[in-house]
Amino acid sequence: MWMGTGNRYKRRRALTPSGLPSVIHSSLTTTTINKQRQTYARRPDIMRFDLLALSAFAPLVAAHGAVTSYIIGGTTYPGYEGFSPASSPKTIQFQWPNYDPTMTVSDAKMRCNGGTSAQLSATVQAGSNVTAIWKQWTHEQGPVQVWMFKCPGAFGSSCKGDGKGWFKIDEMGMWGGKLNSANWGTALIVKNLKWSSEIPRNLAPGNYLIRHELLALHQANTPQFYAECAQIVVQGSGSAVPPSDYLYSIPTYAPQNDPGVTVDIYSSKATTYTPPGGRVWSGFQF
């Protein structure tokens, strides 16, 4: 069982057939463990309390989420899941280590949740959809953003998303009401656990990274970013590329004090919201 403690996780083993924890904590001595077991034997109410306390952490773990697969051209491409070993099957997705959120815009983990490369890629026709799938998500307040990055060449070490080359192709912020309402893009993720975005119809073909980002705003002035990346090959006859004023670097696509990043949705009286990171580029060219 994976238990959350702040932004870290510790693995706790299952109870023994006698109902007693087989391992209380790896740093405890055998004597201490035996004393704890004796206490549980004398006071089962204490064990019940401990189990209830532990169960209270379960929603914290379940609340986090990440993209775990994609649907592209009618084909489902598996991604990773939290705590995947390095020997996991090859996928189109950058391998990410865990479900922990990124808390600052300048954190390197902001780009692809700590992932730096993938072994496979998926082909997508310009003008068609890429659908990202989440296994779990519970935060209703926050925007959804989808970004792309054109690789200078082949996938691999030369295509990690470095530099000012990220452009936004899709977003959904808030569409009415107050900031603490459920009228948000991430509320649609809670409901559907998927998000479909159209690749710009006249986008120039080539190798690209696609990045799905959820920004959870449910904790006042404490933004939580969840982003994953995958490798796609765009095909088509288009020639459009985004203008320079639509290009951003990730991390640091916005300052930490940007009103779309650091916000108290409970005390604010605002009825509008602008996601961080500039405008969506729909594929136009001059």
Task: Summarize pLDDT for 102-160 with one digit per residue, the tens.
Answer: 999 999 999 999 998 899 999 999 999 999 999 999 999 999 999 999 999 999 999 99
**What pLDDT, on a 0 to 100 scale, did the predictor assign at position 53?**
38
Q: For residue 253, is it within any domain?
A: no
Torsions phi, psi of 276, nearest 5?
-75, 160
Asked if residue 102 and residue 213 are part of one domain, the reply reads yes
Question: By residue range, what is the domain housing residue 158?
Answer: 65-246
Cα 73 to its chain centre, rounded Å, is 23
Asked if residue 99 and residue 209 are part of one domain, the reply reads yes
Position 283 pLDDT exceeds 50 = yes
Asked if residue 199 and residue 171 are part of one domain, the reply reads yes
Asked if residue 46 and residue 78 are part of one domain, the reply reads no
- Calculate mean pLDDT across residues 163-187: 97
Asked if residue 116 and residue 22 are part of one domain, the reply reads no
Q: For residue 278, is it within any domain?
A: no
Task: Summarize pLDDT for 41-62 with one digit per residue, the tens.
Answer: 555 554 444 434 333 334 444 4
CA distance 90 to 92: 7
Asked if residue 219 and residue 145 are part of one domain, the reply reads yes
CA distance 100 to 111: 14
Asked if residue 156 and residue 37 are part of one domain, the reply reads no
Task: Summarize pLDDT for 234-272 with one digit per residue, the tens.
Answer: 999 999 999 999 999 999 999 999 999 999 999 999 999
Domain of residue 134, CATH code: 2.70.50.70
Asked if residue 98 and residue 151 are part of one domain, the reply reads yes
Asked if residue 71 and residue 31 are part of one domain, the reply reads no
Q: For residue 214, is it within any domain?
A: yes
Task: Summarize pLDDT for 205-238 with one digit per residue, the tens.
Answer: 999 999 999 999 999 999 999 999 999 999 999 9
Q: The pTM is what?
A: 0.79
Count of domains forming the chain: 2
